[in-house]
Amino acid sequence: MIPAILERYRGAIEGRLSRALDGDGPLRSILRYHVGLEDEDGTPTHVTGKLLRPSLVLFVAEQLGAGLDAALPSAVGLELIHGFSLIHDDIQDRDRTRRGRPAVWTIVGVEQAINAGDLMHALAIATALESSSAAAGRLVEATREMIEGQCRDLEFEHRGITADEYLSMIDRKTGGLLRCAFDLGGLAAGVNGRVRSSLTALGQAVGRAFQIQDDLLGIWGRDDVLGKATGSDIRRRKKTLPVVLLFERVGADDRAKLEEIYGARDGAEVAEESVAWVIGRMDELGVRGACEAMVQRYVDDATGRLRQIPFSDDARSQMEELIAFLARREK
């Protein structure tokens, strides 16, 4: 069941997204397609995904006393930054699909997809400025963090990393925008520095739980839910947390084989027998259980952080429901 927070603001967010991306020309059209407002032929659609980040901005702002009109531009600006990052991520990772549809770069080519992503970035800042210059500045800061995280993620493909390094990376790549969502809501409501610090700490805990659950789904997710085979992240040699923990736990012989699998640079996917071997080692060494325990640890951390924020009991309950959903989702 979808949490109420993710449904409450959908109409307002989609309407403001449509306004931000209105206009003629191929780039505007492809951006409307990318966010799920249109099909490839320009037919209106409503496949805009969870809209998690802007929904968080609006929920926090509303529960702390702000009007939605004050927070909506910054919320949509944040969603546009998220969208820009996905266009560029798909190019860098050579992912051909996004939310079950062809990725932008497969339709218009890499060069125009880069232009589309750049335009979405510019439109995001322009939209956030309609809330306030402070909101736009906070969004710029979060964007910088996210890009630095993506840079580290790509760097990690070429060397060994520790679990602490991995967590530091996701605090930027994933956590940067999630912290920003909570902070933008507090900023719109004009709360004091102590409450804003509590909101960003909450965002960090949620970001870690969210990303580690995503890592679990990339290996053990059900095919019928994800639309991709179990072990897909292994096939693509993505060094997600389960792989990082496996490297830390294996013996010398298995480490040599892992390094051979993850060190290949021929562009081919990992063979099925090697995927099965990696998953088998993970199962033997308790990697999945360790990751699940970490998700729960950050869920517990987030739940504790909620008590430091002046939400009503009902608002706190709704946020707990959302956090549990994100940490246990199957897609």
pLDDT per residue as tens digits for the range 120-153: 999 999 999 999 999 999 999 999 999 999 999 9
CATH number at residue 261: 1.10.600.10
235 falls within a domain: yes
**pLDDT tens figures, 190-215:** 999 999 999 999 999 999 999 999 99
248 falls within a domain: yes
71 falls within a domain: no
Which residues, in sequence order, are CB contacts of 15 under 8 Å at separation 6+? none
- Take residue 163 and report the two structure tokens written for it: 């679990």
CA distance 16 to 34: 15
Residues of the chain with pLDDT under 50: 225-228
Q: What pLDDT is attached to residue 226?
A: 47
Taking a C-beta distance cutoff of 8 angstroms, is the pair 102, 225 a contact? no
Domain count within the chain: 1
The alpha helices in 94-240, defined as continuous H runs, are 104-108, 110-128, 133-156, 163-173, 175-189, 193-220, 223-226, 232-235
Work out the end-to-end distance of the chain between its first and last CA atoms, rounded to an integer number of angstroms.
13
Q: Give the alpha-carbon dihedral of 46, 51, 57, 61, to 10 degrees.
A: 50
253 falls within a domain: yes
Q: What pLDDT is attached to residue 268?
A: 86
CA distance 231 to 213: 14
Q: What pLDDT is attached to residue 223?
A: 62
Domain that holds residue 236: 209-331
115 falls within a domain: no
Helix (H) or strand (E) holding 278: helix 272-284
Q: What pLDDT is attached to residue 224?
A: 56
Please report, for residues 33, 103, 265, the alpha-carbon distance to residue 44 in angstroms, rounded to integers and kept in the order given. 9, 18, 41
Q: What pLDDT is attached to residue 1?
A: 85
Q: What pLDDT is attached to residue 264?
A: 84
Q: What pLDDT is attached to residue 227?
A: 47
Predicted TM-score of the model (pTM): 0.96
CA distance 94 to 268: 12
Q: What pLDDT is attached to residue 228?
A: 47
226 falls within a domain: yes
